[in-house]
Chains A and B, each alone.
Chain A
Amino acid sequence: METKQSTKRIVIEPVTRVEGHGKVTILLDDDNKVTQARLHIVEFRGFERFIQGRPYWEAPVAVQRLCGICPVSHHLAAAKAMDIIVGADTLTPTAEKMRRLMHYGQTFQSHALHFFHLCSPDLLFGFDADVAIRNVIGVIAKFPDLAVQGVMMRKYGQEVIKATAGKKIHGTGAIPGGVNKNLSIAERDELLKDIDQMVEWAHGALKIAKDYTVENLEWVAPFGSFDSSHMSLIREDGAMDLYHGDLRCIDFEGNTIFDHVDYQGYADLIAEEVRSWTYMKFPFIKSLGTDDGWYRVGPLARLNTCDFIDTPAAEAARKEFMAVTDNKPNNLTMAYHWARMIELLHSIEKIKELLNDPDLQGDDLVVTGDRREEAVGMIEAPRGTLIHHYKVDENDQITMCNLIVSTTHNNVPMNKAVQKVAEDHISGVPEITEGLLNHVEVAIRAYDPCLSCATHALGKMPLEVELIDADGAVVDSKSTV
């Protein structure tokens, strides 16, 4: 135990309603004052070693083993890196648009799933509500139409993925230099049948998230919040672009840290620190150092970094979002939900736009060029910036792989959110209830962390809390299933 005399330790393990397994420890002194709060990642990924020695063309399919939650993001990030390896600097319109369609399908289903089935119980019932109803079954019972919408929106996104990647498991749609299929007229028409319904439901989801934030702003604003830098890819003209762009990073006031940087050079800007108490690394901006160089990624960061969104409804929503903070960066942790729903709407608008683009029926699918030995693929995954970095030798074998996944970028912010909520809501409280501990999880859940890369740990995810005294003895415990 890493505590001084007379310190109590609270453990929340596993953290529930996030993707994967994590653990929170909160250290309390004799007066129940929080002295330390941390989010630990308790699973080791090890994938970067596994991929070494594999031929480069296997990477876009093989990396999908990393995660059953967001395999498409890894598929596309690896494919983008392998485009560089095979010298394909510019894809054909059909190839690029097929990949974009796949990616917006992934984002749409991921954001819908998170909002309706992971976070909505907290928003609809309250953080302190009876844990017996504060779950998706409770949502189904009280808000059945919403629950069905969540299921059907996720299903629609999955159908987009299937039509573009070929299948849901180990899809092969993106290959080095392009894609291996276009979208048939039949596939297009099937997806177009439900598109307007999806747009309507996305508007409804956005309204829930917006109204919740605005109507509860007084207490939502400080909840787990802190000033931070924000980083994402950005299109050449400053538009939000979830598939491709250059790197932009701003500070908490909106001042530029770096802008329009080619992500092939990300390693010049970003380094990763290792700490002994967690498997997850801590990325930081080199020029700012480990203490000040951390930043946020994901929907909130993307709303803050972009100059505009190139779809009309999402752009109108972005303007409303930015007006809350007088067009300065929004640093509210709970605003992630609102930002995520703006992206949900943006994604379905882009899907509709792409489905009506005849380029998707083109037959020119692959390009090649001069072979290279090192490449970076980067994409804005649903949870944030995803980096795949590879080196490939003359025998076409991968010799080095480095991945920085979205949740890793948000490691420091999630820990800061945990610390903030613990200090604001748990510190000094004589009895720690399940509802209070859920406050900590609510803050983590706002980031939609995916802790499950390369793991396949199924089973129930109980919330287990232990109060442990300075001698390591369990003095109290709570658990829910």
Chain B
Amino acid sequence: MSTTRPRVLLIGYGNPGRLDDGLGPAAAATIEALALPSVTVDSDYQLMLEDAEAASRHDVAIFVDADVSGPEPFSVVKLVPVEEVSFSTHSLRPEAVMGLVTKVFGGATTGYLVGIRGYAFNEFEESLSEKAQTNLDAAVEFLTGVLTLGDAAAIETELDTWLTAAATAATAEGDSPCKTERT
């Protein structure tokens, strides 16, 4: 187990001008304000190629996006890097970012996606729905707890523990914990 403080990158992405699509940037802004040590926070409208370069310089990369149909209040997915052969610059998925981390930059970063459930996406307004705000608060509380852990292994263990718990709960309810349709 590593004894040095892990380098963590958190990227919240989405369009704050499209209501709950701004959940990712809102989470990033809240966490950035906490100024947590060894945590780099970034946000953008969508994931881009250079995010792979940034992720490659960290031990753990956490992507935060709005989720149009996933579990409430949020879900966590451990990312499996993929070599996506057909993406445009505005449709780069976090799995593809992680694929580039390995393929292009030789990084050994572990990636997670946190999908915060949103409900309203189809209007031009810069605000969150009431339920989305509640989900955001829960996600931020969870992430803050994770990010203040002392080492990378502990962070990964905490995220994996959440995944296991979610999977167990979902199995009991006959549903999948990772049924997501991200924005």
Do chains A and B interact in one complex? yes
As a 0/1 sequence over residues 90 to 108 of chain B, the CB contacts with chain A under 8 angstroms (1 = contact) are: 1100000000100111000
As a 0/1 sequence over residues 134 to 159 of chain A, the CB contacts with chain B under 8 angstroms (1 = contact) are: 01111011001001101110110010
B88 CB contact (under 8 Å) in A19, A456, A480 = A19
A65 surroundings in chain B (CB, below 8 A): 15-18, 124, 126
Closest chain B residue, CB of each to CB of A69? B90
B103 surroundings in chain A (CB, below 8 A): 137, 140-141
Once the chains bind, are B16 and A69 in contact (CB under 8 Å)?
Answer: no
As a 0/1 sequence over residues 42 to 63 of chain B, the CB contacts with chain A under 8 angstroms (1 = contact) are: 1111101110111000000000
| B8-60 at interface with A (beta carbon < 8 Å) | 14-18, 21, 25, 42-46, 48-50, 52-54
Once the chains bind, are B85 and A137 in contact (CB under 8 Å)?
Answer: yes
Closest chain A residue, CB of each to CB of B44? A168
A274 at the binding interface (Cβ < 8 Å): no
Q: A151-B52, A169-B16 in contact; A68/B86 too (CB < 8 A)?
A: no
Q: A147-B104, A456-B21, A461-B91 in contact; A169/B45 too (CB < 8 A)?
A: yes
Min distance, Cβ A99 to any Cβ of chain B, angstroms: 21
Once the chains bind, are B49 and A151 in contact (CB under 8 Å)?
Answer: yes
A154 surroundings in chain B (CB, below 8 A): 48-50
Min distance, Cβ B17 to any Cβ of chain A, angstroms: 3
29 A–B contacts, CB within 8 A, in A order = A16-B86, A17-B88, A47-B124, A65-B15, A68-B45, A69-B89, A117-B49, A118-B88, A118-B89, A136-B87, A150-B49, A151-B52, A151-B53, A151-B104, A152-B50, A154-B50, A155-B54, A158-B48, A169-B43, A456-B14, A456-B21, A456-B121, A458-B90, A458-B91, A458-B182, A458-B183, A460-B86, A461-B87, A461-B88
Once the chains bind, are B86 and A480 in contact (CB under 8 Å)?
Answer: yes
Of B18, B103, B104, which is in contact with the most chain A CB atoms at under 10 Å from its CB? B104
Q: A19-B90, A118-B88, A461-B88 in contact; A68/B50 too (CB < 8 A)?
A: no
Closest chain A residue, CB of each to CB of B105? A148
B84 at the binding interface (Cβ < 8 Å): yes
A475 at the binding interface (Cβ < 8 Å): no
Min distance, Cβ A72 to any Cβ of chain B, angstroms: 12
A481 surroundings in chain B (CB, below 8 A): 85-86
* Bound form: Cα–Cα A152–B57 in Å: 14
A69 surroundings in chain B (CB, below 8 A): 89-90
Interface of chain B, helix or strand or loop or mixed?
loop
A137 CB contact (under 8 Å) in B18, B83, B88 = B83
A152 surroundings in chain B (CB, below 8 A): 50, 53
Of B87, B88, B89, which is in contact with the most chain A CB atoms at under 10 Å from its CB? B88
Min distance, Cβ B149 to any Cβ of chain A, angstroms: 27
Q: A151-B104, A154-B49, A480-B86 in contact; A459/B16 too (CB < 8 A)?
A: no
Q: A65-B124, A169-B44 in contact; A151/B50 too (CB < 8 A)?
A: yes
A410 at the binding interface (Cβ < 8 Å): no
B45 surroundings in chain A (CB, below 8 A): 68, 71, 169, 456
Of B50, B52, B183, which is in contact with the most chain A CB atoms at under 10 Å from its CB? B50
Interface residues of B, count at CB 8 A = 36
On A, residues with C-beta under 8 Å from B are 16-20, 47, 50, 62, 64-65, 68-69, 71, 113, 117-118, 132, 135-138, 140-141, 144, 147-148, 150-152, 154-155, 158, 167-170, 452, 454, 456, 458-463, 480-481
Once the chains bind, are A135 and B43 in contact (CB under 8 Å)?
Answer: no
Once the chains bind, are B104 and A148 in contact (CB under 8 Å)?
Answer: yes
Min distance, Cβ B32 to any Cβ of chain A, angstroms: 10
B105 surroundings in chain A (CB, below 8 A): 148
Once the chains bind, are B86 and A113 in contact (CB under 8 Å)?
Answer: no
Of B90, B103, B104, B126, which is in contact with the most chain A CB atoms at under 10 Å from its CB? B90
B85 surroundings in chain A (CB, below 8 A): 132, 135, 137-138, 481
Closest chain A residue, CB of each to CB of B84? A137
* Bound form: Cα–Cα A462–B43 in Å: 27
B90 surroundings in chain A (CB, below 8 A): 19-20, 68-69, 452, 458
Once the chains bind, are A155 and B50 in contact (CB under 8 Å)?
Answer: yes
B42 surroundings in chain A (CB, below 8 A): 168
Min distance, Cβ B49 to any Cβ of chain A, angstroms: 5
* Bound form: Cα–Cα A80–B144 in Å: 41
Closest chain B residue, CB of each to CB of A155? B50
* Bound form: Cα–Cα A19–B89 in Å: 7
B104 CB contact (under 8 Å) in A132, A140, A459 = A140
Once the chains bind, are B43 and A168 in contact (CB under 8 Å)?
Answer: yes
A155 CB contact (under 8 Å) in B15, B53, B100 = B53
Closest chain B residue, CB of each to CB of A63? B17
B25 CB contact (under 8 Å) in A47, A117, A169 = A169
A480 surroundings in chain B (CB, below 8 A): 86
B17 surroundings in chain A (CB, below 8 A): 62, 64-65, 170
Q: A151-B53, A169-B43 in contact; A16/B88 too (CB < 8 A)?
A: yes
Q: A151-B104, A456-B18 in contact; A68/B46 too (CB < 8 A)?
A: yes
Closest chain A residue, CB of each to CB of B124? A50
B48 surroundings in chain A (CB, below 8 A): 154, 158
Min distance, Cβ B57 to any Cβ of chain A, angstroms: 12
Closest chain A residue, CB of each to CB of B52? A151
B15 CB contact (under 8 Å) in A132, A137, A158, A456 = A456
B43 surroundings in chain A (CB, below 8 A): 167-169
Min distance, Cβ A398 to any Cβ of chain B, angstroms: 14
* Bound form: Cα–Cα A297–B7 in Å: 45
* Bound form: Cα–Cα A138–B85 in Å: 8
Q: A155-B50, A158-B50, A169-B44 in contact; A135/B86 too (CB < 8 A)?
A: yes
* Bound form: Cα–Cα A458–B126 in Å: 19
Once the chains bind, are A144 and B104 in contact (CB under 8 Å)?
Answer: yes
B46 surroundings in chain A (CB, below 8 A): 68, 458
* Bound form: Cα–Cα A19–B45 in Å: 14
Closest chain B residue, CB of each to CB of A452? B90
Closest chain B residue, CB of each to CB of A162? B42
Once the chains bind, are A117 and B104 in contact (CB under 8 Å)?
Answer: no
Min distance, Cβ B165 to any Cβ of chain A, angstroms: 29
* Bound form: Cα–Cα A460–B93 in Å: 9
Closest chain A residue, CB of each to CB of B182? A458
